[in-house]
Amino acid sequence: RKEVEQDPGPFNVPEGATVAFNCTYSNSASQSFFWYRQDCRKEPKLLMSVYSSGNEDGRFTAQLNRASQYISLLIRDSKLSDSATYLCVVSGDNDMRFGAGTRLTVKP
Amino acid sequence: EPEVTQTPSHQVTQMGQEVILRCVPISNHLYFYWYRQILGQKVEFLVSFYNNEISEKSEIFDDQFSVERPDGSNFTLKIRSTKLEDSAMYFCASSRAYQPQHFGDGTRLSIL
């Protein structure tokens, strides 16, 4: 089983749509959880941390279910600039493990 | 906003040669990392470094690889006897304890 597994995508959605990404992780001892975004041939950039109580940052909502080892990201009112690959990232003491990413394309 | 900086942005090397990739982490960060991303594939953890020693390394980080913090600001990744399959984007990252990692914009390594 992969350490961090994401929806394969790609997701192609119109502007204004709501889109949800899911992620599962295998290591129950994982401590921290993040969503990063990566534009083509660029470095990963932190989008948001994910907390057990769920958290929201503008149009983005992240949720964590430790019992199910499941993380989600919801993007509301999607913009053209949201087009990117979204990486689910799970962290232990000294490393971060990345999912393969889900490609999102928002179209006019 | 402080940034992680990496040099060079692109390195082209003959197979079998040694390369050194350089990184300057954010100044108040104490944890340093190297990752690689082969074109079209996912980001892969290589190694983490804290308090002047390796704290964790992946199965990819074999005897061909080494890391060093030669002074108070630089963090380097050395790859000895490079192979074609070492061609990838190499990202350096740094963080404070229990905080998200910040990535440099990467070095593209091309092995010929």
Q: Which of A44, A95, A101 sits opposite B103 (nearest CB)?
A: A44
Residues whose CB falls within 8 Å of the CB of residue A44, separated by 6 or more in sequence, listed in order: A36, A37, A38, A87, A89, A98, B43, B91, B103
Ordered per-residue pLDDT tens for chain B, 112 residues: 779 999 999 999 999 999 999 999 999 899 999 999 999 888 999 999 998 899 989 999 999 999 999 887 899 999 999 999 999 999 999 998 878 899 999 999 999 9
Secondary structure class of A68 (helix, strand, coil): coil
pLDDT in tens, A44-63: 999 999 988 889 999 999 99
pLDDT of amino acid A95: 73
Q: Strand pairing partners for B2?
A: none
Looking at chain B, which residue has its C-alpha nearest residue A97? B45
Q: Which of B43, B100, B104 sits opposite A87 (nearest CB)?
A: B43
| Interface residues from chain B to A (CB-CB < 8 Å) | 31, 33, 35, 41-45, 48, 50, 55-56, 58, 89, 91, 93, 98, 100-106
Q: Tokens 């003491």 label which residue? A: A93
pLDDT of amino acid A41: 85
Looking at chain B, which residue has its C-alpha nearest residue A96? B45
**Percent of chain A residues past pLDDT 70, beyond the cut:** 96
pLDDT in tens, A18-45: 999 999 999 888 889 999 999 988 999 9
CA torsion, points B65, A85, A98, B86, in degrees to nearest 10? -20
CA distance linking residue B4 with residue B93, whole number of Å = 7
Nearest to A93 by CA among A40, A39, A37, A27: A27
Q: How far is B58 from chain A (nearest CA, A)?
A: 9
